[in-house]
Amino acid sequence: MTYRIVADRDSDEEAWLKARRELITASESAHLMGLIKGSWAMTEEQMAERKRSGATIPSTPLLAAGRWWEGSITRYVSDICGLDVQDSSALYVSDQHPFMGATPDGLLEGGMREPAWDLAEWLTVIHDFEAYKGPAAVTFLREVFELNGSRAILEVKNQESKRRSKWNKEAGGPDYYENQVKHQLAVLDDFPIGLLAAKVDANELYIHVIDTDRGYQELLIETCRDFAQKYLTGA
């Protein structure tokens, strides 16, 4: 294990925010990788200025609801699949790449129980261009979990029905969200897979299994290092 906790949002949000300003986080690296388009995209200079100023995204009812749903979706994933998920609000930093930080929504480290089969019809699991639905999806995900040492990172999203097409494609979820999980896997480097879960509309749950991609990870780390050397103190 080559990472450590530097702050916890639930216990001290101000310290968590301060620590994030000194790191490149999973939600930020997608900008550096050119995966955010349109008005949401930030240049290197804009990201650096936001860090220098200490600016944060102002809270809105939509963002507040999203944070509330994260916990509910985590429990939904856990119950349907019969996997024990530990909620996470900690900010982890890589010892090998100390300019990179991550706060995954949950961690899975062993612990399996009987799945909620009555909910299984709402689940789709996608991995390596293959899609599994219903009970077959539950069985497949549990097998993949065991094959990867019963360890996984969990990232959850609450999505509107109009975004369904972005999640049910066999190629994977949105690139910027996949990048977020790959960033987390680069920081928490003893976790072999990430689960990118999206609740779409009322009931549908899509889970994309994301493997550690060493080639992409090297490019991501190098891109983050370049930004850190330009803009982050002590990088």
Position 62 scores a pLDDT of 64
- pLDDT over threshold 90, residue 165: no
- How many separate helices (H) and strands (E) can be counted in the chain? 8, 10
| Per-residue pLDDT reduced to its tens digit, 12-49 | 999 999 999 999 999 999 999 999 988 889 999 999 99
| Per-residue pLDDT reduced to its tens digit, 173-232 | 889 999 999 999 999 999 999 999 999 887 899 999 999 999 999 999 999 999 999 999
- Phi/psi at 96 (5° precision): -75, -35
pLDDT confidence bin for 70, thresholds 50/70/90: confident
Position 233 scores a pLDDT of 72
Mean pLDDT of the chain: 91
CA–CA distance, 118 with 142 (Å, rounded to integer)? 16
- Give the side-chain half-sphere CA count within 13 A for 201: 11
pLDDT confidence bin for 57, thresholds 50/70/90: low
- Supply the CATH number for residue 112's domain: 3.90.320.10
153-170 burial string, b = 16+ CB within 10 Å, else e?
Answer: bbbbbbbeeeeeebbeee
CA–CA distance, 194 with 183 (Å, rounded to integer)? 10
Take residue 148 and report the two structure tokens written for it: 């990867």
Residue range of the domain that includes 26: 3-231
Take residue 172 and report the two structure tokens written for it: 């994977």
CA–CA distance, 71 with 79 (Å, rounded to integer)? 12
pLDDT confidence bin for 5, thresholds 50/70/90: very high
Take residue 144 and report the two structure tokens written for it: 């993949």
Residue 78's Cβ-count burial label (10 Å; 0-12, 13-18, 19+) is: buried
Position 55 scores a pLDDT of 66
The structural domain count of the chain equals 1
What pTM was estimated for this model as a whole? 0.92
